[in-house]
Chain A
Amino acid sequence: MSLKRKDLVSIASLDPDEIMLILETADSFKEVSGREIKKVPALRGKTVVNFFFEPSTRTRTSFELAAKRLSADVINFTASSSSVVKGETLLDTARNIEAMQADIIVLRHPSAGAAETLARGVKSSVINAGDGWHEHPTQALLDLFTLREKKLSFKGLRVAIVGDLAHSRVARSNLYALTKMGAEVRAVGPPTMIPAFLDRLGARVYFNMDEGLRGVDVILMLRLQLERQGPAFFPTIREYSRLYGLTTERLKLANDGVLVMHPGPINRGVEIAPEVADGFASVILDQVANGVAVRMAVLYLLSGNN
């Protein structure tokens, strides 16, 4: 089987077989990252453009490494250094990039739907590396990959996603991905940060963190986006941290062998205590390492289809 689509815009549009194909392909690519010569010639002669309208280190570096390990040529664009500041529209900039024979465009954009718009407008493959509050599909895929590596089966796995679910594309992509694979998802956070009707997407809502963590197998902490949120959603950071921060005591409420995940960058001492972030249950750095393998898989699978 192969991925019969031009773009990867969202997890919502993938079916479970496609998700499994990506995870299994990533499994093969993980071996490449462990070699002395971390390079294979699969995408030789292809051009990958990293088109980032928001600051990002992890995701951009991860895509860049993935493309380079596949022998593709990589170009990085950031909004501040491109003609976007001169008033060019997203589609016009992208068409210019396409005219230079880019095969795959990786897009990070502050507006939801930007990747979809771009995918419809250009012939190149488009990979969504985060669009507004909408989705961040490769993050969810690498989270699934990490879980599969540690736990093997998604069926019946209990996962708590904790934090600001309303403004998190990571949460949305993970919610779709985990429910599609048969996991049981809980949404834990203050009422101001849990969108209405979240239960329609298949999640159970908990406003009390202790209740939400009881008996879970995986805790996925979201980053408190301090640079984006004013005081409207919670009174003080200290209060948020006391009510929804993951501490060693709270970790004990979960099942034995619980895994702690975080998409990064972490706010130590705010949503997660340092001893938990660095503790035995944490797989945060595994997530980062697996990100490269998962992105190699996505680049490889999409590169045949344009």
Chain B
Amino acid sequence: MDASEVARALTRIAHEILERNKGTEALALVGIRTGGVHLAHRLARRIQEIERTQVPIGELDITLYRDDLASRKDQPVLRKTSIPFNISDLIIVLVDDVLFTGRTIRAAMDGLIDLGRPAEIQLAVLVDRGHRQLPIKANYIGKNIPTSAEEIVRVCLEEEGEEDRVVILKE
């Protein structure tokens, strides 16, 4: 995917979110660190352009909810969770860059539910690359990219000082 494809996919997802939820009432976006946070901010900007309303944005770090913490040799670096609003009774759209095994999303849902009881959790991803290990499915998908398990999908974003694009690296 190149920069314009990424932009179009995000615009479409923003419209889909609004269509499915009939506007922005009780809607909030929560990006999963780090890639998902940037995408959540971009989606919020597009939603504002379309509906002229601001949706709250949160940032979620799932490190403490990983299922491999006990088996790893060294601890992954912890970053901040910052969700400055009460998520109870809101429709939360989780945003991530790549959907792969589904384990991150499981951790994110557990993390969210520790913070309150959302009315609904939906999932938006820029890329779905398959190979799920858990029964998890995205509601909004930028692009389905079939991959082999050994390949690496890298999402480069302007916010990280690179040109917007999605590339597949062979192992």
Q: Which A residues contact B (CB, under 8 angstroms)? A: 1-4, 21, 24-25, 27-29, 31-32, 35-37, 39-42, 44-46, 70, 297, 300-301, 303-305
Contact = CB atoms under 8 A, between A and B. Distances in A.
Interface string B70-95: 10111111111110000000000000
B88 to A, nearest CB: 10
Contacts of B77: 1-2, 21, 25
B78 A303 contact: no
Interface string B53-78: 00000000101110001101111111
Contact of B64 (A21, A40, A46): A40
Given A2-B74, A35-B115, A36-B116, A41 B79 contact: no
A304 B114 contact: no
Contacts of B80: 27-28, 31
Given A27-B80, A31-B80, A35-B114, 6 more contacts: A24-B78, A36-B116, A42-B63, A46-B70, A297-B78, A300-B64
B110 interface: yes
A228 B120 CA distance: 60
B74 A41 contact: no
B85 to A, nearest CB: 13
Interface of B: 61, 63-65, 69-70, 72-82, 110, 114-116
Contacts of B61: 28
* Chain B binding surface SS class: loop
B115 to A, nearest CB: 6
Contacts of A31: 80-82
Contact of B75 (A27, A40, A303): A303
29 contacts: A1-B77, A2-B77, A3-B74, A3-B75, A4-B74, A21-B77, A24-B78, A25-B78, A27-B80, A28-B78, A28-B81, A31-B82, A32-B64, A35-B114, A36-B115, A36-B116, A37-B115, A41-B64, A41-B65, A42-B63, A45-B70, A70-B64, A300-B75, A303-B75, A304-B69, A304-B73, A304-B74, A304-B75, A305-B75
A281 to B, nearest CB: 28
Nearest to B67: A41
Contacts of A35: 114-115
Nearest to A70: B64
Nearest to A25: B78
A28 B33 CA distance: 13
